[in-house]
Amino acid sequence: MLKVASYNMRKAVGTDRQRRPERILEVLNEIDADIVALQEADRRFGTRAAVLTPHLLSEHSDYQAVPVAIRAASMGWHGNVLLVRKSAEILACTPVHLPALEPRGAVSADVRLGRHTIRVVGMHLDLSGLWRRRQAKAVLDHLADGNPMPCVMMGDLNEWRGAGGCLKDFARDHAIAETGPSFHAQRPVGRLDRIIVSPQLTITDCGVHMSPSARVASDHLPIWATIR
């Protein structure tokens, strides 16, 4: 069994408008997932510095960041970060360029946890439905161009519809976890955050993490799934 989670952390700015990265780590420690996809983990302008500094991550969590950052001060690629257990082995990793009018990207890693190897993609898709579908195709093309292995895709898809659009594209050959609404954190109505798995994997349980800490740490609630 493997537990994964996805969290748009909004640069650690909570619903109280305070930037407190330690609250994000508190929420992640509550979830206790093996692999986490973060969105909006780097500041947007300037050096795009990481909000969760290496010191914070090392001292207050059991995670390591997958090293896909291109900018020296960043942790991820266009704000997308993958965290894995410190005990996990990162076999390969790469940023994934997505077609977009505004900066968008995804990150991909092959990770070994115990005797299991899995490919993970974290992404944050566009506000425009047309560009979301183009970006979904780019992610699926990336997965098709390489050795087939069990795969999890997760992130903030910005898709308000329950079906159609990019969800239709992902669901053609993959299963989408029924995690529930995750946005807005204080009154969740939108299922913007999604976890998607390849046919080799089975979703055994899933949900939205609704702890008091999660309701204030970001404007999104984290989602999670356990996978066999």
* Predicted confidence (pLDDT) per residue in 135-177, tens digit: 999 999 999 987 789 999 999 999 998 888 999 999 999 999 9
168-215: per-residue pLDDT in tens?
A: 999 999 999 999 999 999 999 999 999 999 999 999 999 999 999 999
CATH C-level class of 2-227: alpha beta
Separation CA 130–CA 134 (nearest Å)? 7
State yes or no: pLDDT of 8 exceeds 90.
yes
- Band (pLDDT 50/70/90 cuts) for residue 81 is very high
State yes or no: pLDDT of 80 exceeds 80.
yes
Q: What's this model's pTM, rounded to 2 decimal places?
A: 0.96
pLDDT recorded at residue 59: 93
The secondary structure of the chain as a DSSP string is: -EEEEEEE-GGGB-TTS-B-HHHHHHHHHHH--SEEEEES-B-SSTT--BSS-HHHHHHH-SEEE-S---STT-SSBTTBEEEEETTSEEEEEEEEE---SS--EEEEEEEEETTEEEEEEEEE--SSHHHHHHHHHHHHHHHHSS----EEEEEE----SSSSHHHHHHHTTSEE------BSTTS--B--EEEEE-TT--EEEEEE---HHHHHH-SB--EEEEE-
**Best CA proximity match to 68, nearest among 108, 97, 122:** 108
pLDDT recorded at residue 129: 92
92-131: per-residue pLDDT in tens?
A: 999 999 998 888 899 999 999 998 899 999 999 999 999 9
